[in-house]
């Protein structure tokens, strides 16, 4: 076995919780969450067991893209609080061992940022080159943008400015002009703004669309893939330009390395190549600590974008997980992020489950087990720990506040309308279906601290008016107060998974991923081993870490109730004294020819105990006791990892024993 890669950092074993400040907790009754609201909920974060919080963008902003159009990087938007509130948050969370990570949005600023106001004021202004300006093209006497790139938020990626008769690049909204990272003075200004927050004790940054800071040289036209549109999606032309790595190494050298332990989490979009992603995260390159990568979240996106449908198969889902677990494994010199939700995605229970209320919490636990048993740094997005789902259909799409949702809807509507008679409205049913699954709005709804019947707006705010975003209408069946007191809730399941992950970090965080080959197909079962990187000489001396054990995870990813899985061969069986399934009260099962029967969305999670120097590692407590039946020549273990078991199941189990 190769030697372990060096330089383990605090963030490797951390569980990081993303806070969306607008929707976490409102302290001043204005209907929007704020930093003082977060301060009031520190005991909740401490009890969850997280090691750091990532606070989504809360700088002074024009409000076009919920904080991601920054007017001033050194000010907090008044609706969220003050700089002093962030300092207090860093201090108070630090008292309970939780770090604070800030968002860093430096591919673009707001058009109201002082830098851009200077830049657009004249061709000779000293900050003109801080943004990307180009003259337009004239075709048949008509002015056109410099190239055919489409904005990610629809329309052209270029905005005409009459003051100087030039266009500026804006990959997102017109109020979000792209910074020109070719300009060294601009980069220095960004670095100084980063230092401002690091000096206040933040532990690092999550860097928004950071691979867009270097575009394709010369800004060539994008290939035409949609002949019905003037603008074409630029794909890789938007990102991963020739100097992106040089910029990140400079940022590391000039800023991050001067603050010990600083983490750099890069959001890397439109990048599916494992080799390209590895360049960002290999420790010796001194660029990013880890990246957010979107392959898994493009799996259901059709040819015309996020709000078009694509049928996907379970084999693809499993394959993408295996692809990134292996490519970015610790033993391979990489590092992965493990996440299924963020403020930029829909809710995972809606997207990856069957969408039924009956199976909602089963799916939430299944996905929690999946995520918490994969290698890398674990991220949990607020509300994910409750099993929050997408907005219910009684909320009209016109009330969705996200700029991406509204502009994409409008663009598709206009395009379809042009092909119809004036008195005929286009059919948007297919788009509406995708919006109700994938829109960012679903993840941004206010958090339900209690039920609506007990407190206005489910305890999120006591405003007399409306909250900034619609709330889901199911807080009576899904809220924090209810789940906190229920030992079998999704919330308490997540708390336990986070605890177990820390105990078994050598395996679950740093260990290798090995899929069980027979399950890497479109079938319902996904099974994999997690294997620790063990220093065998250390083990031979009888020195153990609690997590030094192989782990087998078996998941039924479907609502099918009659799924079986045959236990795979156990390698190096002499090194183990049995298999201890967490969900069979830790009783040993016969290893050969054991069939596991999995109920809908259920799971099997087992440790293999090593025997070395007469030391057997202790096992972890079980959450539930499930039915265990032996049928015929083969042992058949029936697993129903729902919410507890019924009394008759307990009686039946005692008879079997």
pLDDT tens string 534-564: 653 344 444 445 456 788 899 999 999 888 8
Write out the E strands in 599-634: 603-612, 615-616
DSSP state of 522: S
Q: Which residues of 496-523 are buried (b: 16+ CB within 10 A; e: fewer)?
A: bbbebbbebbbbbbbbbbbbbeebbeeb
CB atoms within 10 A of CB 16: 26
Active-site residue flag, 311? no
CA distances from 51 to 97, 101, 169 (A): 7, 11, 38
- Please choose, from the candidates 402, 414, 342, the residue with its C-alpha nearest in 3D space to the C-alpha of residue 173: 402
- Tell me the three state secondary structure of residue 604: strand
Its CATH class, for the domain covering 510-656, is mainly beta
Do strands 603-612 and 550-556 pair parallel, antiparallel, or not at all (unpaired)? antiparallel
C-beta separation of 469 from 445 below 8 A: yes
Structure confidence at residue 615 (pLDDT): 26
Q: Is 461 exposed, middle or buried (0-12, 13-18, 19+ CB in 10 A)?
A: buried
- Please choose, from the candidates 278, 281, 504, the residue with its C-alpha nearest in 3D space to the C-alpha of residue 373: 504
Active-site residue flag, 166? no
Q: Is 485 exposed, middle or buried (0-12, 13-18, 19+ CB in 10 A)?
A: exposed
Structure confidence at residue 572 (pLDDT): 54
Structure confidence at residue 593 (pLDDT): 58
Question: How far apart, in whole angstroms, are the C-alpha atoms of residue 162 and residue 573?
Answer: 74
The whole-model pTM stands at: 0.90
Low-confidence ranges of the chain (pLDDT < 70): 1-6, 534-548, 570-593, 608-657
232 forms beta bridges with 149
Q: Which of 51, 71, 267, 344 is catalytic?
A: 267
CATH of 10-108+184-484, one of 1.10.10.60, 3.20.20.80, 3.20.20.450, 3.40.50.720: 3.20.20.80
Residues 6+ apart with CB under 8 A from 263: 9, 11, 52, 101, 203, 204, 205, 289, 290
Residues 6+ apart with CB under 8 A from 262: 198, 203, 204, 205, 255, 256
Residues 6+ apart with CB under 8 A from 239: 209, 211, 212, 214, 215, 268, 269, 270, 271
* pLDDT tens column, 606-641: 776 554 322 222 222 222 223 333 222 334 444 454
Q: Which of 77, 159, 208, 300 is catalytic?
A: 208
Task: Give alpha helix (H) positions in 475-555.
Answer: 480-484, 490-503, 505-508, 536-540
Question: How far apart, in whole angstroms, are the C-alpha atoms of residue 6 and residue 510?
Answer: 12
Structure confidence at residue 627 (pLDDT): 32
Q: What are the sequence ranges of the domains in the chain?
A: 10-108+184-484, 114-169, 510-656
CATH of 114-169, one of 3.40.470.10, 3.20.20.30, 3.30.559.10, 3.90.400.10: 3.90.400.10
């Amino acid at each position: 076995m190769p030697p372990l890669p060096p330089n383990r950092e605090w963030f490797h074993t951390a569980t990081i919780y993303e806070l969306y400040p607008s929707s976490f907790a409102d302290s001043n009754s204005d209907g929007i969450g704020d930093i003082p609201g977060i301060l009031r909920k520190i005991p909740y974060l401490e009890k969850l067991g997280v090691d750091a919080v990532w606070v989504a963008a809360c700088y002074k902003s024009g409000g076009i893209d919920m904080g991601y159009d920054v007017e001033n990087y050194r000010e907090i938007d008044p609706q969220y609080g003050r700089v002093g509130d962030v300092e207090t948050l860093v201090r108070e969370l630090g008292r309970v061992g939780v770090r604070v990570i800030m968002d860093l949005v430096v591919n673009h600023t707001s058009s109201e940022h002082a830098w851009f106001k200077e830049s657009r004021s004249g061709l000779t202004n000293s900050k003109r080159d801080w943004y990307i300006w180009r003259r337009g093209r004239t075709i048949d006497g008509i002015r056109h943008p410099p190239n055919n790139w489409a904005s990610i938020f629809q329309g052209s990626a270029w905005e005409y400015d009459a003051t100087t008769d030039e266009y500026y690049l804006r990959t997102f909204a017109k109020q979000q002009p792209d910074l020109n990272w070719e300009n060294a003075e601009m980069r220095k200004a960004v670095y100084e703004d980063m230092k401002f927050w690091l000096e206040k004790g933040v532990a690092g940054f999550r860097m928004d669309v950071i691979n867009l800071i270097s575009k394709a040289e010369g800004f060539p036209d994008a290939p035409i893939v949609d002949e019905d549109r003037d603008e074409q999606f630029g794909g890789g032309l938007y990102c991963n330009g020739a100097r992106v790595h040089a910029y990140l190494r400079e940022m590391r050298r000039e800023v991050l390395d001067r603050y010990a332990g600083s983490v750099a989490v890069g959001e890397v979009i439109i990048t599916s190549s494992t080799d390209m992603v590895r360049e960002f995260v290999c420790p010796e390159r001194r660029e990013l600590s880890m990246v957010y990568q979107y392959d898994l979240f493009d799996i259901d996106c059709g040819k015309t974008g996020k709000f078009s449908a694509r049928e996907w198969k379970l084999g693809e889902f499993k394959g993408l997980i295996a692809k990134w677990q292996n490519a970015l494994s610790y033993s391979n010199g990489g590092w992965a992020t493990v996440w299924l939700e963020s403020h930029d995605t829909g809710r995972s229970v809606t997207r990856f489950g069957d969408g039924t209320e009956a199976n909602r919490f089963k799916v939430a636990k299944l996905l929690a087990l999946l995520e918490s048993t994969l290698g890398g740094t674990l991220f949990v997005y607020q509300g994910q720990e409750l099993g929050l789902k997408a907005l219910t259909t009684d909320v009209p799409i016109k009330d969705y506040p996200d700029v991406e949702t509204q502009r994409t809807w409008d663009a598709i509507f206009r395009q379809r309308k042009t092909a119809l008679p004036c008195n005929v409205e286009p059919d948007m049913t297919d788009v509406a279906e995708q919006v109700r699954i994938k829109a960012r709005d679903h993840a941004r709804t206010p958090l339900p601290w209690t039920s609506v019947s007990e407190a206005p707006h489910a305890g999120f705010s006591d405003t007399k008016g409306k909250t900034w975003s619609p709330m889901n209408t199911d807080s009576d069946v899904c809220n924090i107060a209810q789940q906190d007191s229920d030992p079998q809730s999704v919330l308490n399941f997540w708390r336990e998974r986070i605890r177990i992950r820390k105990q078994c970090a050598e395996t679950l965080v740093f260990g290798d991923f090995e899929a069980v080959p027979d399950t890497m197909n479109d079938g319902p079962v996904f099974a994999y081993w997690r294997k620790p990187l063990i220093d065998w000489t250390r083990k031979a001396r009888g020195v153990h870490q609690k997590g030094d054990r192989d782990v087998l995870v078996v998941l039924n990813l479907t609502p099918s109730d009659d799924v079986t899985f045959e236990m795979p061969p156990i390698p190096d069986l002499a090194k183990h004294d049995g298999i201890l399934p967490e969900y069979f009260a830790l009783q040993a099962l016969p290893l050969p020819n054991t069939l596991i029967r999995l109920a809908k969305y259920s799971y099997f999670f087992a440790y293999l105990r090593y025997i070395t120097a007469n030391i057997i590692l202790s096992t972890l407590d079980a959450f539930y006791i499930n039915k265990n039946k032996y049928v015929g020549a083969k042992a058949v273990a029936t697993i129903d990892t729902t919410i507890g078991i019924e009394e008759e199941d307990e009686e039946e189990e005692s008879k079997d024993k």
